[in-house]
């Protein structure tokens, strides 16, 4: 043996330990992977050895490899082995490895339940601590269910080190096993007032996490938290509580009003920035939740903004960042107070820290107004130029677009300016957001009619300079704007001044290098342009020019016909044929322009993105009903729609219609117009659906500002937005002057078409009239569109399961599962030894059994019938199981008859398993809460539970129910201590002081409070007199009331349900140092099952074994007395034999039981 | 809740990885890499908060980090944590390491990953803050080391692995000699970092 040990330690010396492994890896930088795989092989060898130290060492190394990204789940079983080592050193290694790699999918995890339970109840607090820590990482629903009760017990452990860990882990248990929340909640609440600050902090932490997800269930705790907030000095706790209040206030505005004052005090007094910041945040939340009728509102807002300004001005970047973050919250409800700090925020845009710049950008979004939009955007444009790194620049770009387009271009007074901004943005290199700019261009050009002429001129310029945009392959993103440019020039070609030039630009060979979907738009819009030029030339009689342009098209189009892109190719070849046909007609000198132009007649209306969804379903139409017989499965699989073509959602793709010959087209167009006219869902925006290029553009639509186009065109045709800022200023100034003049004249005079025709339309509060008639066409929506009713809740939210009402008193069905003896495992292993032990252990009982044998056989048959009848009633889900059971029973019956008596014990165990689980039969609802006292105002019920961690304490849970219509407050509970039993009062208070109940009761509400009592002797039942004093407050005023009660500590309340294995039970009985006593009760009519359940429930016993109408039961007192019972049921009576270390306790217990049973 | 705690060096080599939700090893490594790239490009004088988008799965998450000499300490937290509080917690954690290892340096973390984990477990468990008082943390860590030592002496004799914390620095030095590291690791200088945010003494 000694040799073996020496050998083991020598072996170990040659093993690599963690440090060797790390060193080795560092020495093998070139072939790290190879070296590690070699090490893993060694580890596998080490894991095969019996020496636990070697194993632990191997597992420790695995943990390191896991960090490097190696999967170590294959060693899960070995990890469990190391976890169950007796030495703390190894155990800790095992749990660490488990916490790093175990998860819900680890199948061996179910093997750990008992080991963890053992560690949790270890006398060494660090074993418990390590188990708790590990569990926090890999708890599964099964583990949570099985261990919930154990962890809950640890919440009252004597060591605060364990208590605080247990409290935190309860949160993980709640998440995995939501049923545990209600039973555990009273104790968790109790921990809020734990004497140890660490435990208190943990409890606050857990409740805050819970409340954050389902705040409404925790409103009743608000008074308690309020108290903590005003009394606690721990900043961690304060921060958590203040954050929690932030979540609660939206639900209860009254709470908010109360909070303002203490929070403001804290803001003024605290020196901790973190606390200050959270206070400000919560005050903001409160102010948001309060309706705006409070007079001292603005003072609080001012205080917040002022404090935030200090944060933002601080040199510490972290404070600056948080200040901006909080500022953006205020912005939503009180934009005015933030806007006054525009200077500061614009300053932050220059910060070297990108996070801060992004925050500042967010703020700017909410700060723009008609007045400052141009200025802010100008500043942003400067930053765009300066910005390094594409991410930030892209962010700037999207922000500019967001800011300008927000709420339907509300703040834009000059769309020419906006178009030039967009055009300037196209000069950005390497941006990914070309499509965004393109979408904006399209949107503005389509919806703001007055801007079309200007837009078209700018777009023509873009097309002309397409080589700049598309030259660099890296600028791919930006070439998207050509898509918009081409489309706008084509669609609104009547506004083009140099249509020929634009057409030529579009036909350049370079165009073929553009992405396919853009070329397709080019091809389509060329024809629109061509049609418009053709018409122009025909009208002015320039036939040759018209033919030249046709010739140009015929020459250049083939380059598109060769395109590899299907869409481009198809369109180009159609159009080529069309133009060849036109050429033929032109040669015959037939006028064709009218017909060609008719191809593109019709007005486009923007359609809201959600319009399709909002079309109401006509009555009587069931969309889910099959029109035909449903196709077979195999067919439906093939029918999955595939998108072959480039995705061009949101883009107005009118040009998608197939090219057919003109007549057909015209015919269809007519039909469509007819259809549109009759369609109630189609909103006709302009009285004439005909395209306007038949009329000359209205004078009203000419933009107000005279633009010197030569200025923006200087730099290769690109406009400058800056001039607009100046122009705008001038314009505003002029407007103001005019207004003043007008005022002087006291005359309403219709001014020139340029400036005044729209003054009525948008007289903003800032007195800025937009430069254009902003005729923004709203997006189309079907009539009777339904308001959106999106469900924003995620059904898979794991926190949803924790949405549980915590104020309801506990029902018995909710009690946490307590560890129970399971004979199943004994049974399954047909070890030859096992039955022997069993047999031995049963000897003392056997004699009794023999006596009763005959009687039992009778009773058994009867009972079996009942069971069978009940079986029939059971749900189908249980059928299989039950059938199986019946068969088994039948078998055992047969066996019984044929076999010798000596085998009985074994069979009996089989039986006892079958009947032993009490929840097989439905039990009547039972409540352990007994009435304490009652008057017209209040009803008190109570329950007493022993405290396993402390042998001289019990906890009395009292439910207070307000029966009146008044408000009950200042409740105080006091009892007259006896020598033996004393109420635990906070330090420093005298024995005559009452304990305040930590809540108030609104009418009809009930809540539970717990009181701890210390005891010396527990062998006798105790009665304590007490009084509850409270104040009843209603409309008439408040009165002081009292309610006397008697608190009855039965002996059963000192017992703790403790499971016991049958062999241990037998040994206990054999030991002989137990006193014995028995009772008999007559006139029992309820079933044995119910009887046992009652004893289990009311007297805190657990069934050790049950055979027919005979059962052995066990329980333990908080001071460690063992109590064993043998319960036998006769025809109409029950006899109970009891054994216990203490005879007084036993006789008292039996008396209590007699009383319970006689009520049956 | 804290979602993850990562410690890696200036080259992105992980020194401590602690996720409080299960993720496959490859995903973990991916996250470490991406986090490293996010923090690397930030210089030392800008703010310590970082929005990490959907890197960790939820949009609610935020990275809070501190950079000490050769090491980055990164905490990924959700909105229920106070940003400044977590910054202080990182400080507490590092100071605790410094106390337990006596002048901690990167090599201590490299060679004693298990110990670092055990210390961390006294600060944060299951993603929730357990203890913020450094003395309490150190006391618990030392009590457990003592227990470990007692076991080691009584049963298996002093093994190399159980050398205790005090043995760490000398071994670290020998490691440097052995490997000939290009850069000599500096101590994590707690003294000279400028904590503007709530003073630790105020905070506790």
- What residue of B is the nearest CA neighbor of A27? B179
- Give me the DSSP letters along A331-371: HHH-HHHHHTTHHHHHHHTT-S-HHHHHHHHHHHHHH--TT
Mean pLDDT of the region A1126-1134? 84
Burial class (CB in 10 A: 0-12, 13-18, 19+), A667: exposed
Per-residue pLDDT at A654 exceeds 50:
no
User: Residue A82's pLDDT is what?
Assistant: 93
CB A203 within 8 A of CB A191: yes
Per-residue pLDDT at A257 exceeds 70:
yes
User: What residues contact A502, with CB distance under 8 A and at least 6 apart?
Assistant: A460, A463, A464, A489, A496, A529
User: Residue A795's pLDDT is what?
Assistant: 55
Q: Is the CB of B114 less than 8 angstroms away from the CB of A277?
A: no
Higher-scoring residue by pLDDT: A249, A847: A249
| Chain B residues lying within 8 Å of A64, measured CB to CB | 113-114
Q: Is the CB of A19 less than 8 angstroms away from the CB of B160?
A: yes
Q: Is the CB of A271 less than 8 angstroms away from the CB of B202?
A: yes
Q: What would the pLDDT profile of B149-196 be if each residue is shown by its tens digit?
A: 888 633 333 333 333 333 333 333 333 322 222 232 233 333 333 333
Complex confidence, ipTM: 0.82
Q: Is the CB of B87 less than 8 angstroms away from the CB of A318?
A: yes
Min distance B187 CA to chain A CA atoms (Å)? 20
User: Residue A988's pLDDT is what?
Assistant: 74
The model's pTM is 0.57
Cβ pairs bridging A and B (under 8 Å) = 189
User: Residue B17's pLDDT is what?
Assistant: 94
Q: What's CA A463's distance to the chain center, in Å?
A: 48
Best mutation site among A234, A272, A323 for testing chain B: the one with the most B CBs within 10 Å? A272
User: Residue A776's pLDDT is what?
Assistant: 57
Per-residue pLDDT at A880 exceeds 70:
no
What separation in angstroms does the CA of A76 have from each of A65, A98, A218?
A: 14, 7, 40
Q: Is the CB of B16 less than 8 angstroms away from the CB of A67?
A: yes
CB A725 within 8 A of CB A374: yes
Per-residue pLDDT at A998 exceeds 60:
yes
Q: Does residue B173 belong to the interface with chain A, where contact is any CB pair within 8 Å?
A: no
Q: Which of A650-654, A750-754, B147-151, B153-157 has the lowest mean pLDDT?
A: B153-157
| Chain B residues lying within 8 Å of A100, measured CB to CB | 17-18
Mean pLDDT of the region A679-688? 47
Q: What would the pLDDT profile of A587-617 be if each residue is shown by its tens digit?
A: 888 888 888 888 888 777 777 777 777 777 8
> CA–CA separation, B16 vs B93, rounded Å?
13
User: Residue A980's pLDDT is what?
Assistant: 83
Q: What is the 3-state secondary structure (H, E, C) of A936-990?
A: CCEEEEEEEEECCCCCCEEEEEEEEEECCCCEEEEEEEEECCCCCEEECCCCCCC
| Chain B residues lying within 8 Å of A206, measured CB to CB | 128
Within chain B, how many helices (H) and strands (E) appear? Answer: 7, 7
Question: Which letter, b or e, does each residue of A544-579 get, where b requires 16 or more Cβ atoms within 10 Å of its Cβ?
Answer: ebbbebbebbeebbebbbebebebbbbbbbbbbebb
| Chain B residues lying within 8 Å of A69, measured CB to CB | 25-26, 28-29
> CA–CA separation, A202 vs A221, rounded Å?
16
User: Residue B14's pLDDT is what?
Assistant: 93
Q: Which of A748-762, A1104-1118, B189-203 has the lowest mean pLDDT?
A: B189-203
The helix-helix angle for A354-367 and A373-386 (nearest 10°) equals 160
- Give me the DSSP letters along A282-336: HHHHHHHHS-TT-TTHHHHHHHHHHHHHHHHHSS-HHHHHHHHHHHHHHHHH-HH
> CA–CA separation, A801 vs A798, rounded Å?
6
Mean pLDDT of the region A1146-1158? 85
Q: Is the CB of B197 less than 8 angstroms away from the CB of A319?
A: yes
Q: What angle do CA A323, A329, A330 make, to 5 degrees?
A: 90
Q: What would the pLDDT profile of A427-461 be if each residue is shown by its tens digit?
A: 877 777 888 899 999 988 888 888 888 999 999 98
Q: What would the pLDDT profile of A1038-1059 be if each residue is shown by its tens digit?
A: 888 888 898 888 888 888 877 7
User: Residue A978's pLDDT is what?
Assistant: 83
Q: What angle do CA B195, B201, B203 make, to 5 degrees?
A: 85
CA nearest neighbour of A94 among A111, A34, A104, B28 = A111
Higher-scoring residue by pLDDT: A310, B201: A310
CB B68 within 8 A of CB B188: yes
> CA–CA separation, A788 vs B118, rounded Å?
52
Q: What would the pLDDT profile of B81-126 be if each residue is shown by its tens digit?
A: 888 899 989 999 999 999 998 888 888 899 999 999 999 999 999 9
Mean pLDDT of the region A251-278? 86
Per-residue pLDDT at A891 exceeds 80:
no
> CA–CA separation, A437 vs A423, rounded Å?
8
Min distance A535 CA to chain B CA atoms (Å)? 55
Phi, psi of A115 (to 5 degrees): -60, -45
Burial class (CB in 10 A: 0-12, 13-18, 19+), A494: buried
CB A155 within 8 A of CB A188: yes
Confidence band for A789, pLDDT divided at 50, 70 and 90 = very low
CA-based R_g, chain B, Å: 17
Q: Is the CB of B46 less than 8 angstroms away from the CB of A353?
A: yes
Best mutation site among A69, A91, A388 for testing chain B: the one with the most B CBs within 10 Å? A69
Q: Does residue B182 belong to the interface with chain A, where contact is any CB pair within 8 Å?
A: no
> CA–CA separation, A818 vs A147, rounded Å?
9
Q: What is the DSSP letter of A1008?
A: E
Q: What angle do CA A694, A700, A701 make, to 5 degrees?
A: 65
CB A973 within 8 A of CB A1028: yes
Q: Is the CB of B161 less than 8 angstroms away from the CB of A69?
A: no
The helix-helix angle for A833-873 and A1062-1070 (nearest 10°) equals 120
Min distance A52 CA to chain B CA atoms (Å)? 11
Mean pLDDT of the region A498-510? 87
CB A88 within 8 A of CB B151: yes
> CA–CA separation, B64 vs B76, rounded Å?
6
Q: Is A1049 helix (H, G, I), strand (E, B) or coil?
A: strand
Q: Does residue B192 belong to the interface with chain A, where contact is any CB pair within 8 Å?
A: no
Q: What's CA A848's distance to the chain center, in Å?
A: 61
Q: Is the CB of B22 less than 8 angstroms away from the CB of A171?
A: no
User: Residue A844's pLDDT is what?
Assistant: 46
- What residue of B is the nearest CA neighbor of A6? B156
CB B127 within 8 A of CB A99: no
Mean pLDDT of the region A560-582? 91
* Minimal Cβ distance to B130: which of A71, A165, A321: A165
For residue B188, the number of C-alpha atoms closer than 13 Å in the C-beta half-sphere is: 28
- What residue of B is the nearest CA neighbor of A101? B22
Q: Is the CB of B47 less than 8 angstroms away from the CB of A356?
A: yes
Burial class (CB in 10 A: 0-12, 13-18, 19+), A109: buried
* Minimal Cβ distance to A89: which of B1, B51, B151: B151
Q: Is the CB of B198 less than 8 angstroms away from the CB of A275?
A: yes
Beta bridge partners of A995: A973
- H-type alpha helices, A84-196: 88-101, 113-120, 125-138, 141-154, 160-176, 181-191
Q: Does residue B183 belong to the interface with chain A, where contact is any CB pair within 8 Å?
A: no
- What residue of B is the nearest CA neighbor of A24? B179
> CA–CA separation, A94 vs A277, rounded Å?
41
Pairing mode of beta strands A1075-1082, A938-946: unpaired
Q: Is A1023 left (phi over 0), alpha (psi -120 to 50) or beta?
A: beta
User: What residues contact A882, with CB distance under 8 A and at least 6 apart?
Assistant: A871, A874
Best mutation site among A133, A134, A239 for testing chain B: the one with the most B CBs within 10 Å? A133
Q: Is the CB of A18 less than 8 angstroms away from the CB of B133?
A: no
CA nearest neighbour of A916 among A844, A1057, A820, A834 = A820
Min distance B97 CA to chain A CA atoms (Å)? 18
- What residue of B is the nearest CA neighbor of A354? B46
Higher-scoring residue by pLDDT: A792, A720: A720
What residues 121-160 of chain B have any CB closer than 8 A to a CB of chain A?
Answer: 121, 125-133, 136, 140, 143-144, 147-148, 151-152, 155-157, 159-160
Confidence band for B55, pLDDT divided at 50, 70 and 90 = confident
Mean pLDDT of the region A288-300? 67
Phi, psi of A448 (to 5 degrees): -105, 95
Mean pLDDT of the region A889-907? 46
Per-residue pLDDT at A689 exceeds 60:
no
User: Residue A843's pLDDT is what?
Assistant: 45
Largest CA distance in chain B: 52
What percentage of chain B reaches a pLDDT higher than 70? Answer: 73
Phi, psi of A172 (to 5 degrees): -65, -35
- What residue of B is the nearest CA neighbor of A136? B126
- What residue of A is the nearest CA neighbor of B196? A316
Higher-scoring residue by pLDDT: A649, A227: A227
Q: Is the CB of A317 less than 8 angstroms away from the CB of B155?
A: no
What separation in angstroms does the CA of A951 have from each of A157, A187, A818, A1075, A1117?
A: 12, 18, 20, 22, 9
User: Residue A145's pLDDT is what?
Assistant: 92
Beta bridge partners of A690: none
What separation in angstroms does the CA of A570 have from each of A136, A432, A564?
A: 64, 29, 10
Per-residue pLDDT at A234 exceeds 70:
yes
What separation in angstroms does the CA of A289 have from each of A293, A303, A770, A841, A1100?
A: 11, 17, 36, 69, 49
CB A1122 within 8 A of CB A1140: yes
Q: Does residue B17 belong to the interface with chain A, where contact is any CB pair within 8 Å?
A: yes
Confidence band for A90, pLDDT divided at 50, 70 and 90 = very high
Mean pLDDT of the region A282-299? 72
């Amino acid at each position: 043996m000694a040799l073996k040990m020496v050998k083991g330690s020598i072996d170990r010396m040659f093993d690599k330990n963690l440090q060797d492994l790390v060193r080795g890896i560092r020495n093998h930088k070139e072939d790290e992977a190879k070296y590690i795989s070699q090490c893993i092989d060694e580890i596998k060898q080490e894991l095969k050895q019996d020496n636990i130290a070697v194993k632990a060492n191997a597992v420790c190394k695995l943990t390191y490899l896991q960090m490097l990204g190696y999967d170590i789940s294959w060693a899960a079983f070995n990890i469990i082995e190391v976890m169950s080592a007796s030495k703390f050193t190894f155990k800790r290694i095992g749990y660490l490895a488990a916490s790093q790699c175990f998860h819900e999918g680890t199948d061996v995890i179910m093997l750990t339940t008992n080991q963890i339970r053992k560690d949790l109840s270890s006398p060494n607090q660090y074993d418990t601590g390590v188990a708790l820590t590990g569990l926090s990482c890999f708890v599964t629903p099964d583990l949570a269910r099985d261990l919930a009760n154990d962890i809950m017990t640890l919440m009252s452990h004597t060591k605060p080190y364990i208590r605080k860990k247990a409290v935190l882990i309860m949160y993980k248990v709640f998440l995995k096993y939501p049923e545990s929340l209600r039973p555990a909640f009273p104790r968790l609440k109790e921990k809020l007032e734990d004497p140890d600050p660490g435990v208190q902090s943990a409890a606050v932490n857990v409740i805050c996490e819970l409340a954050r997800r389902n705040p409404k269930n925790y409103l009743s705790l608000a008074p308690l938290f309020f108290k903590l907030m005003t009394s606690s000095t721990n900043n961690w706790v304060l921060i958590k509580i203040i954050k929690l209040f932030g979540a609660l206030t939206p639900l209860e505005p009254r709470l908010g009003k109360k909070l303002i004052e203490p929070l403001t005090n804290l803001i003024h007094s605290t020196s901790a920035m973190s606390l200050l910041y959270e206070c400000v945040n919560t005050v903001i939340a409160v102010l948001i939740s309060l309706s705006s009728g409070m007079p001292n509102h603005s003072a609080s807002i001012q205080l917040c903004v002022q404090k935030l300004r200090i944060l933002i001005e601080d040199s510490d970047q972290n404070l600056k960042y948080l200040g901006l973050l909080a500022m953006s919250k205020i912005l939503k409800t009180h934009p005015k107070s933030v806007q006054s700090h525009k200077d500061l925020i614009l300053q932050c845009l220059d910060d070297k820290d990108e996070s801060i710049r992004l925050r500042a950008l967010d703020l700017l979004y909410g700060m723009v107004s008609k007045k400052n939009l141009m200025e802010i955007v100008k500043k942003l444009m400067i930053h765009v130029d300066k910005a390094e790194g594409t991410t930030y620049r892209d962010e700037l770009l999207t922000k500019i677009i967001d800011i300008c387009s927000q709420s339907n271009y509300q703040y834009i007074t000059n769309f020419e300016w906006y178009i030039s901004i967009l055009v300037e943005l196209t000069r950005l290199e390497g941006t990914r957001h070309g499509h965004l700019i393109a979408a904006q261009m399209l949107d503005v050009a389509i919806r703001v009619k007055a801007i079309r002429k200007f837009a078209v001129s700018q777009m023509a310029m873009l097309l002309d300079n397409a080589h700049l945009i598309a030259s660099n392959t890296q600028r791919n993103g930006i070439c998207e704007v050509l898509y918009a440019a081409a489309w706008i020039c084509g669609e609104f070609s009547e506004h083009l001044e140099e249509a020929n030039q634009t057409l030529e630009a579009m036909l350049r060979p370079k165009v073929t290098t553009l992405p396919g979907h853009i070329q397709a738009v080019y091809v389509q819009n060329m024809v629109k342009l061509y049609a418009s030029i053709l018409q122009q030339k025909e009208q002015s009689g320039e036939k040759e020019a018209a033919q030249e342009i046709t010739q140009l098209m015929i020459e250049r189009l083939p380059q598109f016909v060769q395109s590899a892109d299907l869409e481009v190719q198809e369109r180009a070849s159609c159009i080529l044929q069309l133009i060849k046909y036109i050429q033929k007609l032109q040669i015959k000198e037939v006028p064709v322009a009218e017909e060609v132009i008719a191809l593109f007649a019709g007005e486009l209306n923007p359609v809201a993105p959600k319009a399709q969804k909002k079309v109401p379903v006509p009555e009587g139409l069931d969309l889910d009903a099959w029109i035909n017989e449903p196709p077979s499965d195999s067919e439906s699989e093939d029918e999955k729609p595939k998108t072959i073509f480039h995705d061009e959602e949101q883009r107005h793709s009118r040009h998608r219609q197939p090219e057919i010959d003109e007549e057909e087209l015209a015919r269809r167009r007519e039909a469509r117009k007819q259809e549109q006219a009759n369609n109630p869902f189609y909103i006709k925006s302009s009285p004439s659906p005909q395209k306007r290029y038949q009329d000359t553009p209205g004078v009203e639509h000419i933009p107000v500002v005279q633009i010197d186009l030569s200025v923006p065109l200087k730099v290769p045709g690109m406009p400058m937005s800056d001039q607009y800022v100046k122009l705008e200023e001038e314009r505003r100034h002029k407007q103001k002057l005019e207004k003043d003049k007008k005022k002087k004249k006291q005359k309403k005079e219709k001014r020139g078409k340029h400036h005044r025709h729209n003054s009525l339309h948008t007289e903003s509060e800032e007195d800025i009239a937009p430069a254009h008639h902003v005729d923004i066409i709203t997006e189309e929506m079907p009539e009777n569109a339904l308001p959106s009713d999106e469900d924003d809740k995620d059904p898979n939210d794991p926190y949803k399961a924790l949405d549980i009402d915590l104020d309801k008193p506990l029902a018995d069905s909710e009690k946490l599962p307590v560890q129970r003896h399971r004979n199943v495992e004994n049974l399954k292993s047909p070890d030859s030894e096992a039955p022997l032990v069993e047999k031995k252990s049963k000897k003392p009982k056997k004699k009794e059994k023999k006596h009763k044998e005959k009687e039992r056989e009778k009773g058994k048959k009867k009972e079996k019938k009942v069971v069978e009848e009940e079986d029939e009633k059971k749900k189908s889900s249980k059928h299989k199981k039950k059938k199986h059971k019946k068969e088994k029973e039948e078998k055992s019956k047969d066996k019984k008859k044929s076999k010798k008596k000596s085998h009985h014990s074994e069979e009996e165990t089989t039986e006892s398993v079958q009947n032993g689980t009490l929840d097989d039969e439905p039990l009547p609802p039972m409540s352990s809460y007994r009435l304490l006292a009652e008057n017209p105002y209040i009803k008190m019920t109570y329950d007493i539970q022993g405290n396993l961690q402390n042998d001289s304490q019990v906890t009395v849970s009292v439910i207070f129910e307000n029966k009146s219509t008044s408000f009950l407050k200042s409740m105080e509970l006091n009892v007259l201590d006896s020598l033996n039993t004393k109420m635990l009062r906070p330090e420093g208070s005298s024995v005559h002081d009452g304990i305040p109940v930590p809540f108030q009761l609104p009418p009809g509400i009930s809540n539970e409070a717990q009181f701890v009592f210390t005891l010396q002797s527990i062998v006798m039942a105790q009665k304590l007199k007490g009084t509850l004093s409270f104040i009843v407050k209603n409309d008439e005023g408040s009165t002081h009331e009292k309610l006397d009660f008697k608190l009855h500590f039965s002996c059963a309340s000192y017992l703790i349900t403790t499971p016991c294995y049958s062999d241990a039970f037998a040994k206990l009985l054999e030991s002989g140092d137990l006193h014995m006593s028995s009772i008999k009760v007559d006139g029992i009519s309820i079933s044995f099952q119910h009887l046992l359940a009652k004893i289990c429930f009311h007297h805190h016993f657990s069934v050790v074994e049950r055979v027919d109408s005979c059962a052995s039961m066990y329980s333990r007192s908080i001071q460690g007395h063992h109590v064993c019972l043998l319960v036998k049921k006769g025809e109409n009576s029950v006899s109970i034999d009891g054994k216990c270390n203490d005879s007084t306790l036993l006789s008292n217990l039996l008396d209590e039981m007699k009383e319970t049973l006689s009520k049956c | 809740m804290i979602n993850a705690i990562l410690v890696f060096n200036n080259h992105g080599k992980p020194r401590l990885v602690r996720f409080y939700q299960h993720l496959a090893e490859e995903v973990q490594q991916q996250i470490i890499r991406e986090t490293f790239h996010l923090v690397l490009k930030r210089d030392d004088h800008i703010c310590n908060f970082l929005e990490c988008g959907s890197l960790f799965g939820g949009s609610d998450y935020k990275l809070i980090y501190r950079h000490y000499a050769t090491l980055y300490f990164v905490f990924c937290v959700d909105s229920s944590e106070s940003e400044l509080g977590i910054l202080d917690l990182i400080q507490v954690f590092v100071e605790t390491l410094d106390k337990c290892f006596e002048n901690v340096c990167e090599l201590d973390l490299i060679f004693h990953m298990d110990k670092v984990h055990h210390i961390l477990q006294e600060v944060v468990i299951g993603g929730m803050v357990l203890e913020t008082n450094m003395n309490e943390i150190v006391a618990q860590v030392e009590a457990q080391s003592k227990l470990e030592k007692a076991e080691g002496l009584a049963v298996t004799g002093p093994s190399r692995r159980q050398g205790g914390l005090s043995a760490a620095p000398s071994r670290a030095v020998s490691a440097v000699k052995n490997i000939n590291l290009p850069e000599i690791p500096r101590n994590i200088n707690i003294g000279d970092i400028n904590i503007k945010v709530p003073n630790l003494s105020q905070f506790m």
